[in-house]
Structure 1
């Protein structure tokens, strides 16, 4: 066989190579047209691009390739352009001219070509190419077609974008089943093309028939959560207008119907916007700014105006028939005021019978800290019953997905922008829907683990407090939970006791200093010291050594002569006390002298602050003999020391938290800030010193416990692992949210509830209420997730049956009927397959059939 003859047909010359084949095999002109779309011609010295049209390709429509029309073909279209995934091609088209032939546009569609227009189309794009991102894709294939610029070509970008927009719109209608409805596209109702959430309560779709008859304590499981937010990045420049660029959708998906919306805004836009009485919400108080100049759309038109949000809110609820409604909005504390009064200005079909429903308002968890303290308790998801672990931040997650599109939609006309955003919103909702299997499973695993942890923490706190006190607290918080909107009922999550004054802080600091001076600085030593005095004096000396070291390090190398003199005097006094105590030690623990002598060198004694005293607890660690009586004495004294130092730590932390707040709210000016910072430093130093003293006491107890057979002591006196364990009552760990926070153990040890300080008691009451709320929210989250799992399965089963039913609504025949039924059947199968997959993954949590 001649090596230059095509092996495919054994006739033509080998001149062309396909760009998509891996082998690089050569073909003749006829075979390359029949088998390939991208190719190069061998010119004798190199490969050069060659168009399919020049090679004689004629695309025949209306009949399969190889079959001829019963009548002569219509005049062919010799200058037809096809946008393909691998380039832009010029081809020749032959349309069918039989009596049963469809229009040119329909013939193109059946050949998987999407025409740029329905009137004498000369440009089309393949279906596959329309499933791509417009700008980047078009520029890529344009360069693939000609990357040199040597061949002038018409720019088909606008035509391509128009085709993409129309294609996406048709897909939205198709997925909503509009092609199966006899009323067709014109019968589409508002919101009908939106992708529904299978987990949300939807009567007739995923709720039981008797859902309205359930007991009151179970109604919350069928509540609808509505999260409101605006995205100020989705702006649009003042380009084009609705008459020039109308939308293909008329409120059928995620945008309200534009004409009715703008008519309402025009009617009520002149009313002044009431100012916020909460924090300085820029979205409300700074409605008109330079940033909005030159923009036609900022979502809420220069700020979060209530008129805009009211219309959108009531439009959303128009088709929602639920009895319990939980609404979250980052300015809900202001927006909900007079909401029902403003509702009276809405069209009749948007008005809600709110009197027959239970409606509550919340501020999303991430936004809540920016509000005043009263709002932080009244509008908190964490403190309100029957909301589970809902955070109200769902829109923010959607914004993170849509924000990359903002730079494109900003330059679009109004209709193009709405249609494009509708398509992206639908894609996001569909991804969330098919991902519910993994999402709800992960949340359920986490909820069970967190509920157990917080239940244990709440039980531990109850053990540390007086039962009679907590019973009263429980009654108060339950009364508030049943009457959250009654302003006469005091909110239990708000403090009742006024903060202590600055003069009181100074007094407490003086009292702490006086008490420390009484703890051993003036101890008189006597030859007939009793064993208890001996041990107590040794413990006090250890504290004095630590205090002197702290003073020495804080003064540093830059100490003045006067400060150095004071330090030397203190050191000499400490030296005398240590030597006196050491002489008494010979009477009680002579073995300590053997251990002590090992650390002494030459005849020069160590610095008194560094001399190890070798109390009985140290001797047990070194396996030296010691009187059991002395061990018992030290045990009792160390237990008392541990309890006292915990009290001191808590007191110092309370003072520090107050002083931080006072400094932040009231102190200004360099001098005042310096004085306040110095005072804070003193309090923090005392907390650190108390923590160090506690660690020493805990180490001694750990050493004494085995020798004295003491058990269970470390349930109350635990180890302080790090600085993070020394935190205020309301201070969370880094990155820890309110709903996951657990009260530090130093605040829940037995006896802490006996503190008579009213500030302490009020703080404990608030923390008890919060600990109870955390436990209950996680318990509710488990119940809510179980219900959502059942709702998802019921919805998918309902939706599958819905597709089965719509498959036969239209009176069609032949290929059209087969296509309509096939699509509906495929959609039903998808829902049933998703339901089966989810049910298997959730099996261990589903207590009842869906």
Structure 2
């Protein structure tokens, strides 16, 4: 770069806007270059090495800034008249030739300039849909180009035709801005031999309102590229297929039918069935025959054979064994007087409708497995093979070549019994991944808003409107899946899969080979024969969990044990008795803290109760202090040092704040010299037992809370019952908090005694670990129900998808053998069943 004739110098900071050099701001990223750039007055650029150049910003006074809005504040005095000028003739057009402008025109779409009649007709010969105004001598009035004499020439885009048709026509054209009445003439030259009158209109992009949506659907389906055209269209060919779904000879590799069984799920077709009772239209006695365009070509089946099938249908005996589901109860009784339905159940959810719709949908599809989700699939599938045999020949399905799998959608499954859910839930179906089966409900959310219009339409318009809406929805969905949805879903799926695999391995490592082999056999046997015991369902009696009375009795026993250990005396003088006494005193301190925690003002009886507990604590502590010198000499030394350092003017500490000087509370060096031999190891064993016992009790309390929430979700009615339920649940929560605190204290003491590396089996207990995944969903439903009947609603209710659940480590750590060992085994089996495949 050429340098200036004079050496570069620093800008003069004492002057502003008068210097021949202009200072450039340097960014932090420019500091690595160690260059300062300046520009001289002669236009040449010079640079010189510089070091440690900081960010320099020129100070700008607010008065120097340009106020863009302030320029509009002093409006002209005649600003109010500017709007009036727009509604009048321009001043330049007035004067000696005023009479000429009595026939002046202005086009809203072209601009505000004024045109004469000849100009406006010449200018708009190619744009007959512009909006024109005429000056009547006083103001502008709307007019039309047809009234001015414009005749639009078809076949040439408005240009002149050498042989136009002699007759002109009038037609209403609906544009995006307005509705126009246009006078036009057909082409009669050689181009007319290649396009008839209708084609000339459509090539001018003037489509009949009744056929435009149909032509658009045919275009999306690619019918224009078929040599046979629309005349060769068969039923279903105008329906836009889902691009990611497997389609033979379109997006499947060669030999896909011969892949190994463990990879056949990749080519499974998943369909969702449902009924919609809102998309109906009225039946009228004087209704004209108005058939839809392309009857049966798209999403709605051909009407004549469908009605013939329903006419021959005989109501079968009800075989409902699951629930009193509304669609099942009304499948043969729900009347639709005065309503028409095209492809939806005419009378409730009658099986005959879906029996006909399913084969009509999948006819011509090549697949090894077909998964069908339906909210009453548990009942509909029972005699389906027998009913399919009575279908017309062209709708019969070869069940030897294709395997039909039926399941309940994830959200709708909540209305079914638990035994039905575990047997038919889509989540438990191999190969479906994270599919929830509720995609058709999202389609209803798009279609339902037009139901208020479609119910007033005739048969043809009703079908065409629904077809157009579905086709547009499918088209947008296909486009978005490739551009936006698919990459994001893939990233999320990989991340969630890794989390689930990691969680499964943690659980699997805690199982013995015999247990793993037993559970695997249960699942394989059930998949091969559904009449065998369902491994996803816990045995009878355990499913309902403990009753409310049982839970109350357990809480009462806990309270009685606390009272017994809190007020009784300590006996014995052995090493074990000494350590157990210390642990009991530690528990007494925690109970005192629990009673006094978070309360600023205590009632008189509460204060008295806390004082009694403190007195009982000190009476026990007095006995233990006499034995402390025998077992822990280091504690006596530390106690004397603490007493010497304490301010005599301060009151003595409360019972809950007194140090107990257990071996775990001493320095590591005092474990050998300041304690009786074997005492730290003995406390370590007791602490390990506390950890195991705490986890077992935690399992029991969490299960009790979950079952209690389930019970009250179904039976709580009224404010009184809701308050009682909330009180009982809070008592369980307090017990869970107490047990969790005991585990944390025992774990901390164990780490102090043995070191962190030796205690890896007992992991850190976080708040997110102390919860069943099912409990989070149940708790959300319970809070919602309690808020409806008078309780205060929760601002952030918990919610967790069943596909996002991760197994907490507390269910894999377990505890020592005991009375809850079977319950722990069952809980693990329940959680692991869905992942052991």
TM-score by length of 2: 0.74
Residues 76-225 of structure 1: pairs in structure 2 closer than 5 A: 76-77=168-169, 79-98=170-189, 101=192, 103-114=196-207, 163-181=208-226, 183-225=228-270
Match of 1:573 in 2: 616
Aligned match for 2:148, one of 23, 39, 55: 55
* Cα distance between partner residues in 2 of 1:518 and 1:112: 92
* Cα distance between partner residues in 1 of 2:251 and 2:689: 62
* Cα distance between partner residues in 2 of 1:548 and 1:87: 80
CA 1:626 to 1:609, structure 2 compared with 1: closer, same or farther past 3 Å? farther
Aligned match for 2:373, one of 328, 334, 338: 328
Match of 2:302 in 1: 257
Aligned match for 2:476, one of 431, 436, 442: 431
* Cα distance between partner residues in 2 of 1:229 and 1:56: 57
* Cα distance between partner residues in 1 of 2:159 and 2:540: 92
Match of 1:726 in 2: 770
Match of 2:807 in 1: 743
Match of 2:322 in 1: 278
* Cα distance between partner residues in 2 of 1:639 and 1:349: 71
The answer to whether the 8 A contact 2:370-2:404 is kept is yes
* Cα distance between partner residues in 1 of 2:685 and 2:371: 56
The answer to whether the 8 A contact 2:690-2:746 is kept is yes
CA 1:518 to 1:464, structure 2 compared with 1: closer, same or farther past 3 Å? farther
* Cα distance between partner residues in 2 of 1:644 and 1:750: 9
CA 1:179 to 1:387, structure 2 compared with 1: closer, same or farther past 3 Å? closer
Match of 1:827 in 2: none
Match of 1:649 in 2: 698
* Cα distance between partner residues in 1 of 2:523 and 2:758: 34
Moved more, 570-579 or 376-385: 570-579
* Cα distance between partner residues in 2 of 1:696 and 1:290: 63
Structure 1 residue 425: Cα displacement: 1.1
Structure 1 residue 555: Cα displacement: 11
**Secondary structure at 1:75 match in 2:** strand
The answer to whether the 8 A contact 1:578-1:608 is kept is no
CA 1:259 to 1:446, structure 2 compared with 1: closer, same or farther past 3 Å? same
Match of 2:118 in 1: 30
Residues 308-319 of structure 1: pairs in structure 2 closer than 5 A: 308-319=353-364
Aligned match for 2:345, one of 300, 312, 319: 300
**Secondary structure at 1:326 match in 2:** strand
Aligned match for 1:477, one of 523, 526, 529: 523
Residues 712-723 of structure 1: pairs in structure 2 closer than 5 A: 713=759, 715-722=760-767
The answer to whether the 8 A contact 2:221-2:238 is kept is yes
* Cα distance between partner residues in 1 of 2:809 and 2:350: 47
Unmatched segments (≥5 aa) in structure 1? 6-10, 115-162, 774-850
User: Aligned pair 1:227/2:272, yes or no?
Assistant: yes
Structure 1 residue 53: Cα displacement: 2.5
**Secondary structure at 1:76 match in 2:** strand
Structure 1 residue 691: Cα displacement: 1.5
* Cα distance between partner residues in 1 of 2:724 and 2:178: 74
**Secondary structure at 1:771 match in 2:** coil
Residues 589-604 of structure 1: pairs in structure 2 closer than 5 A: 589=635, 590-592=637-639, 594-595=641-642, 602=649, 604=651
Unmatched segments (≥5 aa) in structure 2? 1-90, 95-99, 778-797
Moved more, 301-310 or 37-46: 37-46
Aligned match for 1:493, one of 514, 536, 552: 536
Deviations 1:58-78 (A, max 9, x none): 2123346553424x751333x
* Cα distance between partner residues in 2 of 1:597 and 1:582: 18
The answer to whether the 8 A contact 1:275-1:285 is kept is no
Structure 1 residue 646: Cα displacement: 1.8
The answer to whether the 8 A contact 1:14-1:26 is kept is no
* Cα distance between partner residues in 2 of 1:239 and 1:594: 100
Aligned match for 1:686, one of 711, 735, 740: 735
Match of 2:447 in 1: 402
Match of 1:447 in 2: 493
Deviations 1:648-700 (A, max 9, x none): 21222234444555666789999999988776555443222111222333444
* Cα distance between partner residues in 1 of 2:511 and 2:625: 43
Match of 2:581 in 1: 537
Structure 1 residue 243: Cα displacement: 4.9
**Secondary structure at 2:237 match in 1:** coil
Match of 1:158 in 2: none
* Cα distance between partner residues in 2 of 1:409 and 1:599: 86
The answer to whether the 8 A contact 1:323-1:356 is kept is yes
Which protein, 1 or 2, shows the higher relative CO under an 8 Å CA cutoff with sep ≥ 6? 1
* Cα distance between partner residues in 1 of 2:366 and 2:707: 49
> Whose radius of gyration is greater, 1 or 2?
2
Match of 1:20 in 2: 109
CA 1:712 to 1:230, structure 2 compared with 1: closer, same or farther past 3 Å? farther
Q: How many residues align?
A: 704
Structure 1 residue 471: Cα displacement: 2.3
CA 1:90 to 1:769, structure 2 compared with 1: closer, same or farther past 3 Å? closer
Structure 1 residue 305: Cα displacement: 0.9
Deviations 1:243-302 (A, max 9, x none): 52211121000011001111111221x525625221221011034778844433392123
**Secondary structure at 2:277 match in 1:** coil
**Secondary structure at 1:361 match in 2:** strand
Structure 1 residue 304: Cα displacement: 0.9
Aligned match for 2:590, one of 546, 551, 559: 546
* Cα distance between partner residues in 2 of 1:471 and 1:754: 23
The answer to whether the 8 A contact 1:229-1:330 is kept is yes
Deviations 1:153-174 (A, max 9, x none): xxxxxxxxxx323111122233
* Cα distance between partner residues in 2 of 1:753 and 1:29: 103
The answer to whether the 8 A contact 1:16-1:27 is kept is yes
* Cα distance between partner residues in 1 of 2:472 and 2:101: 49
CA 1:599 to 1:347, structure 2 compared with 1: closer, same or farther past 3 Å? farther
* Cα distance between partner residues in 1 of 2:638 and 2:620: 20
**Secondary structure at 1:186 match in 2:** helix
